[in-house]
């Protein structure tokens, strides 16, 4: 088909051959996966064809103006009797896409048995979601300008998330450069607009009391009621939200919560105080303790948290602050810092790392019992833990 090609028309052309009416011999061949520029010419009466380049989206390949210039240059060479240069390789030839390289990075990390699997999952999910269509392009074509544009777009809606995205990209691109998947680590040259600040919020006794009693009035649905119980449970046990939400009745045996999977990727045993066991109650081994929809893990945290803030009159806190509040409370009650770290399932260094498991388990149980007793005193509960 002969037509005057335009920059706007090229991206949407259906499969077929399109001869440019504005440049003699120039043809764009649109295939299922490629758009190829070719020039047709005659030498000694015989029709010849030579590939001169490839059109790619986002100005990554040869554009219309460059294709017309290349076609004119080739015609001059033919008229002068000079040899025609061989066709260039496709820009994507031998180059993995950005998505494929990130897949290789993930495979490498998991093959090494790296700790913090859930952290890796979250980081890679964030990276992939924000890279979007760039994942389909060759990794070597992803530029600093591309990364800055993504950073700026994220920054418009969540400044700290933009910096966290760059932090997640850092080790991936360092590995890419080391393994020659890219020529330059572009992340190294892109600055973080907003620093990622660590939270240090702990709840006051008045806030603990207000939130505790408001947990009984979040809503009447199964999910809302269990959200309220989960909040109390996280405060008493000092564990992470997802670990509490993933708790099943079968994970607790003789009052001991056995965590096989968690963010730390370390087995964790906790003797639960009576206050926590009351919140758990009884159920079928394979059922979630804090169930959302029937048979499913609880969800809708943002919605329930918003309602809890309204009822309690307390805002500016997140669920993870319950864990920090519990740790701070245990410290004020005289619990040894190494025991608090063990209760939180943090890595223990030095002498504490070599304690006998039974000794550590007893120390953690005592720490939680002391803290649970303090929580009962703060919220005005009648039970007294011995």
Beta bridge pairs of residue 248: 288
Give CA separation, 374 vs 237, 380, 383, in Å: 12, 10, 11
Asked if residue 272 lies in contact with residue 255, where contact means CB atoms within 8 angstroms, the answer is yes
Residue 197, pLDDT > 70, answer: no
pLDDT of residue 384: 42
Residue 386: its pLDDT value, please?
36
pLDDT at 85: 76
- As a whole number of Å, the CA-based R_g of the chain is 31
Residue 334 · residue 371 · CB < 8 Å: no
What percent of the chain clears pLDDT 90, i.e. is strictly above it? Answer: 60
* % of the chain surpassing 70 pLDDT: 89
Query: What pLDDT does 1 receive?
Result: 86
pLDDT greater than 50 at residue 227: yes
CA angle 251, 256, 262 (to 5 degrees): 55
The pLDDT assigned to 351 comes to: 44
State residue 263's pLDDT score: 72
Neighbour tally for 20: CB within 10 Å: 21
Q: What is the sign of the dihedral through the CA atoms of 232, 262, 168 and 303?
A: negative
Residue 89 has pLDDT above 80, yes or no: no
Averaged pLDDT, 199-227 = 94
pLDDT of residue 356: 56
Position 112 scores a pLDDT of: 79
- Given this model, what pLDDT does residue 357 score? 63
Average pLDDT over residues 341-362: 71
Residue 195 pLDDT class (50, 70, 90 cuts): low
Q: Is 26 in contact with 20 (CB distance < 8 Å)?
A: yes
Q: What mean pLDDT is predicted for residues 251-267?
A: 85
pLDDT value at residue 210: 97
pLDDT tens-place string over residues 275-318: 999 999 999 999 999 999 888 999 899 999 999 999 999 999 99
What's the pLDDT at 114? 55
User: So what's the pLDDT on residue 117?
Assistant: 54
Q: Could you give the CA distance from residue 99 to residue 139 in angstroms, rounded to a whole number?
A: 8
Instruction: Provide the pLDDT confidence category of residue 107 given band limits of 50, 70 and 90.
Output: very high
In this predicted structure, the answer to whether residue 368 has a pLDDT above a threshold of 90 is yes
**Per-residue model confidence (pLDDT) at position 354:** 46
> What mean pLDDT comes out for the span 346-357?
57
Residue 153 C-alpha from the chain's centroid: 16
Q: How far apart, in Å, do the first and last CA atoms of the chain sit? A: 89
By the 8 A CB rule, do 378 and 209 touch?
yes
pLDDT score, position 135: 92
Average confidence (pLDDT) over 8-14: 92
pLDDT tens, position by position, 228-254: 999 999 999 999 999 999 999 999 999
pLDDT on residue 6? 93
pLDDT in tens, 24-47: 999 999 988 788 999 999 988 889
């Amino acid at each position: 088909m002969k037509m005057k090609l335009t920059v706007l028309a090229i991206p949407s052309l259906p499969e077929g051959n399109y001869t440019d009416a504005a440049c003699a011999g120039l043809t764009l061949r649109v295939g299922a996966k490629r758009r190829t520029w070719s020039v047709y010419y005659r030498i000694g009466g015989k029709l010849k064809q030579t590939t001169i380049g490839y059109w790619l989206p986002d100005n990554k390949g040869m554009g219309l103006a460059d294709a017309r210039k290349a076609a004119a240059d080739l015609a001059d060479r033919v008229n002068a009797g000079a040899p025609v240069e061989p066709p260039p390789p496709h820009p994507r030839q031998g180059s993995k896409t950005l998505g494929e390289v990130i897949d290789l990075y993930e495979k490498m990390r998991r093959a090494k048995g790296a700790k913090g699997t859930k952290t890796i999952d979250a980081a890679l999910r964030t990276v992939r979601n924000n890279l979007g269509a760039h994942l389909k392009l060759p990794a070597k074509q992803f530029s600093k300008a591309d990364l800055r544009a993504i950073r700026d777009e994220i920054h418009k809606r969540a400044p700290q998330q933009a910096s966290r995205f760059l932090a997640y990209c850092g080790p991936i691109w360092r590995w890419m450069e080391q393994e020659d998947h890219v020529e330059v680590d572009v992340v190294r040259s892109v600055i973080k607009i907003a620093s990622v600040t660590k939270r240090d919020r702990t709840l006051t006794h008045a806030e603990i009391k207000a939130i505790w009693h408001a947990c009984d009035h979040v809503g009447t649905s199964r999910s809302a009621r269990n959200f309220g119980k989960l909040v109390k449970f996280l405060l008493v046990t000092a564990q992470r939200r997802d670990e509490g939400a993933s708790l099943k009745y079968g994970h607790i045996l003789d009052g001991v919560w056995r965590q096989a999977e968690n963010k730390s990727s370390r087995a964790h045993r906790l003797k639960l105080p009576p206050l926590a066991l009351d919140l758990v109650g009884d159920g079928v081994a394979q059922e979630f303790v804090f169930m959302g929809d029937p048979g499913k893990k609880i969800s809708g945290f943002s919605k329930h948290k918003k309602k809890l803030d309204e009822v309690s009159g307390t805002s500016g806190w997140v669920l993870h602050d319950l864990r920090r509040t519990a740790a701070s409370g245990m410290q004020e009650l005289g619990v040894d810092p190494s025991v608090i770290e063990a209760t939180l399932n943090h890595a223990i260094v030095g002498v504490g790392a070599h304690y006998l498991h039974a000794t550590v388990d007893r120390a953690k149980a005592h720490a939680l019992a002391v803290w649970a007793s303090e929580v009962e005193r703060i919220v005005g509960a009648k039970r007294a833990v011995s």
